[in-house]
Chains A and B, each alone.
Chain A
């Protein structure tokens, strides 16, 4: 007789009305983990290192989106996060790395643009942006379509570009625009596709003016890939794809709620959402810095998923609302 081992990754469906408090709770814990003492691990590494800059970009983006989405009910610790980022952007090594390459709009500049989206300005970078414009950048820069979309998004968010992204030639030339089947997509391709949806939806939607055919294709692709990466327990991509589905207005399905229940269950009480390939043994035995390096991106995108869902479903993604209820619901 068939005896499917259902215990490993599948958990009872979370009723729709319980999803919001549970996501708020996990978001709360992820936020504390991201913006607490762990922040120091970001400056332990060399700041002029490209992968450090990527982490700073993600953090600056998180800061900008939290400010934008949560408004006055912004989360406690936001001021500390702003101070932390400001210190990094004033670090001579970071400034040097930003100005080093004339081909510019590199990862270091993207980090600043993400920071700028919250309305903050730093003179060194502002003057450099003017020099770049005079030199013909970013138009002079030749880039892959997905990078063009990324850059246009950051320019728009930072207030330098006035118009939002449109579903024109660049989209059509992108991986998502060209994709006819997911059968040959690599993991990197799936990340590219999920990021394209992030940029066009301003991360959690609603998406404006997306052609119906493209929307349908995106939903079907995301749902197929969600099943694929759920099976391999890749929580990083699961969180990205779930946020994509929120943006695409597909968060009321059984698939979405079942996958979310699985993601919620994997979230540890200390706020850690295990990164790809991270085992329970690793989490139990590795030091905090090692855990931070391996789980940072997954916790960050998991947090964005939580507040993105809260913003779209309840219109409120502040920390304070329902805090007591959220904490009490963790063990349920």
Chain B
């Protein structure tokens, strides 16, 4: 293992404890999806797909009350959490409707599908929906060394494109320059204390098959160094030490914590979201939590 496995597992367990804080029940669907996705990532890191304590059961049996806020949620997270919940026999009616609408929209498209839809379509298929797939084609990205001059936003956009186009690394990707530059960029972000930058680029490194380079190990170790004693990730700031209540503090650290465990999960097992195939109509797993 390129980073000490024991350290990753300890960190993941601690992050899961923090994510499962029973006192906080986010009403916002987007936040709830992020939280569950983080737990899902930790379970994959720890190779505990059926992990279910009382806190988790409590969490997943209470769908968000403000379902309209699903509209803001990242479709990738929606699909990943949907699949995970269904694999545990849990149904959130509003979430089911949303995913069905994704599948219907894709099948209603009369033109050829953009390669950016590769990952959503792959996930939908894994969820048992019979959707079209974008045609396999050669992917063209900016030259790796052009990233030297790229802005943070451009680099984040490239990382997103790499995720959706390669289906988190499930589809082979060949670009030697990106393989050279991206690990260096992950370290660059760590040196600059840009937590989200380091996490995002590190995931992209996993997708293009360079997650085990020394540079990625340095970036991953730096991310692990940023974890706080209670398990959350994210920097302490004025707003985190006073002036806001426990829920607000928790919400401030939700995104960085989920981002960190997501990156670690991708490094441990690229395309972990794709996991095993399931069939929602007939699924009757033994690991039901409901």
Contact = CB atoms under 8 A, between A and B. Distances in A.
B222 to A, nearest CB: 4
Nearest to A228: B188
A189 B225 CA distance: 20
Q: Output the residue of B146, B148, B177, B218 with the most chain A CB within 10 A.
A: B148
A130 interface: no
B149 A5 contact: yes
Contacts of A220: 214-215
Interface residues of A, number: 28
A224 to B, nearest CB: 5
A224 B184 contact: yes
Contacts of B252: none
A184 B190 CA distance: 8
Contacts of A8: 149
A5 B158 CA distance: 13
A227 B158 contact: no
B100 interface: no
A6 B218 CA distance: 27
B154 A227 contact: no
Contact of A227 (B141, B150, B181, B214): B181
Nearest to B198: A183
A254 B141 contact: no
Interface in B102-154: 141-143, 145-151, 154
Interface in B146-205: 146-151, 154, 157-158, 161, 176-177, 180-181, 183-185, 187-188, 190-191
B221 interface: yes
Interface in A190-216: none
Contacts of B161: 2
Q: Output the residue of B154, B191, B221, B222 with the most chain A CB within 10 A.
A: B191
Contacts of B149: 4-10, 231
Contacts of B221: 181, 183
A4 B219 contact: no
Contact of B148 (A181, A224, A231): A231
A6 B180 contact: no
Interface string A219-233: 010011011101100
Interface in A231-281: 231, 253-255, 258, 262
A4 B147 contact: yes
A10 B145 contact: yes
B150 A181 contact: no
B191 A228 contact: yes
Contacts of A10: 143, 145-146, 148-149
B159 to A, nearest CB: 10
A182 B191 contact: yes
Nearest to B215: A224
Contact of A4 (B142, B180, B187, B222): B142
Nearest to A7: B149
Contact of B146 (A6, A181, A227, A228): A6
Contacts of A2: 141-142, 154, 157-158, 161
A254 B177 contact: yes
A8 B149 CA distance: 6
A185 interface: yes
A5 B149 CA distance: 7
A183 B219 contact: yes
B218 A183 contact: yes
A6 B150 CA distance: 7
A181 B185 CA distance: 14
A223 B218 contact: no
A185 B145 CA distance: 23
Nearest to B157: A2
B158 A4 contact: yes
Contacts of B146: 4-6, 10
Q: Output the residue of B151, B218, B219, B221 with the most chain A CB within 10 A.
A: B218
A183 B222 contact: yes
Contacts of B143: 6, 10
A228 B158 contact: no
B150 A4 contact: yes
A101 interface: no
A3 interface: yes
Given A2-B157, A182-B218, A223-B184, A258 B145 contact: yes
Q: Output the residue of A3, A181, A254 with the most chain B CB within 10 A.
A: A181
A254 B180 contact: yes
A329 B185 CA distance: 33
Contacts of B185: 227
A183 B148 contact: no
Given A7-B149, A10-B148, A255 B215 contact: no
The 3 closest A-B pairs by CB, nearest first: A227-B184, A6-B146, A8-B149
19 contacts: A2-B141, A2-B161, A3-B154, A4-B147, A5-B146, A5-B154, A6-B142, A6-B149, A10-B143, A10-B145, A183-B191, A184-B191, A217-B214, A224-B183, A224-B188, A227-B185, A227-B188, A231-B188, A258-B145
Given A223-B184, A258-B145, 18 more contacts: A2-B141, A2-B142, A2-B161, A4-B158, A6-B142, A6-B146, A10-B143, A10-B146, A10-B148, A182-B191, A183-B221, A184-B222, A224-B218, A227-B148, A227-B188, A231-B149, A231-B188, A253-B180
